[in-house]
Structure 1
């Protein structure tokens, strides 16, 4: 029987999105029981893919889509990064002193395979990479959602641990943006932007 576990989320086209993507992946793989080697490799690969996507010349309001998936049948960890740009990225041959252009060389060296596909249901493309990770044992019903959709009773991963949400409220920042305030079963209140991605365990 095939078991598919996946997390999907979107990030804005800002420099801070790359470290956010790395943090989410690190948390997800920790929850899935990944060893240090596969986790470090996957984080590096995703970082390169996201960095490339952020450099694509498209309107600034176009978000970058990220999907993390693992199937038990083939034991492959799949990382997907989607953007609205055209064209097909290729491995470059930078000069000895060039500081850019090595991203896909790193991806090619570290992964089982990688490629480019048309973006499903939208404009642009998806660059994907797969790593062999047969030892992963992801728990069921874990996903990534915007903070504004979190509900009381769900468990969220914060500060490296799972916490149960006791209550959810919304408020406005002084700048006018919407914030979500989560009261957890332990620790201080968690206040995050409404669109902030959070790893959650869904209600049964």
Structure 2
């Protein structure tokens, strides 16, 4: 019996993966996110690619440094809405405490992760998740125009944008 070819019903690209709550896990999350963005057509070394990768790196580092619960992983979810030009980044950990959004003193050499996320993201926030813990999310808006990624099926078939149901 031939394999069925499934055409996506929505122009949203998705990546989801769990990682160990270690520095190595945070590094792997950043590297795989960068690879996934490149596969979606967001060229490595561009401002947009680097900004989204930095947001992933900061949120993953926070999950490992501040959201770690022994024996529990953290999860990374990326979604690219090709119609709206928006990339959503979600990092879920099992620690219930909300991240502190505090601007560190100039002499401090740490604590600027959420300041960077706030500067790069169109918006970001924290929400409870099913089970213990929280999800820290950020949305990065790609500029309009010819540089925006194209969803090949919609472009080839002239389909209108259809958005998935909210998660």
User: TM over 0.5, yes or no?
Assistant: yes
TM-score, with structure 1 as normaliser: 0.63
Give the aligned partner of residue 129 of structure 1: 138
Task: Please show how residues 82-97 of structure 1 align to structure 2 within 5 Å.
Answer: 82-97=92-107
Question: What's 1:108 paired with?
Answer: 118
- Number of residue-to-residue matches in the alignment: 139
Matches within 5 A, 1:126-165: 126-133=135-142, 135-137=148-150
Instruction: Report the CA distance between 1:11 and its aligned residue.
Output: 0.3
| 1:34 corresponds to which of 16, 38, 42 | 42
TM-superposed deviation, 1:138: 5.2
> Runs in 1 of length 4+ with deviation above 6 angstroms?
none
Task: State whether residues 45 and 106 of structure 1, in contact with CA within 8 Å, keep that contact through their aligned partners in structure 2.
Answer: yes
Separation in structure 2 between the aligned mates of residue 58 and residue 104 of structure 1, nearest angstrom: 17
Question: C-alpha separation between the residues in 1 aligned to 2:67 and 2:86?
Answer: 31
Q: Which structure 1 residue ranges, 5 or more long, are not aligned?
A: 141-204
Equivalent in 23, 26, 29 of residue 31 of structure 2: 23
Find the counterpart in structure 2 of residue 12 from structure 1: 20
The alignment partner of 2:119 has SS state of helix
Structure with the bigger percentage of helix: 2
Greater fraction of residues in strand = 1
What is the TM-score with the length of structure 2 in the denominator?
0.76
Q: 1:139–1:13: structure 2 CA closer, same or farther, 3 Å change rule?
A: farther
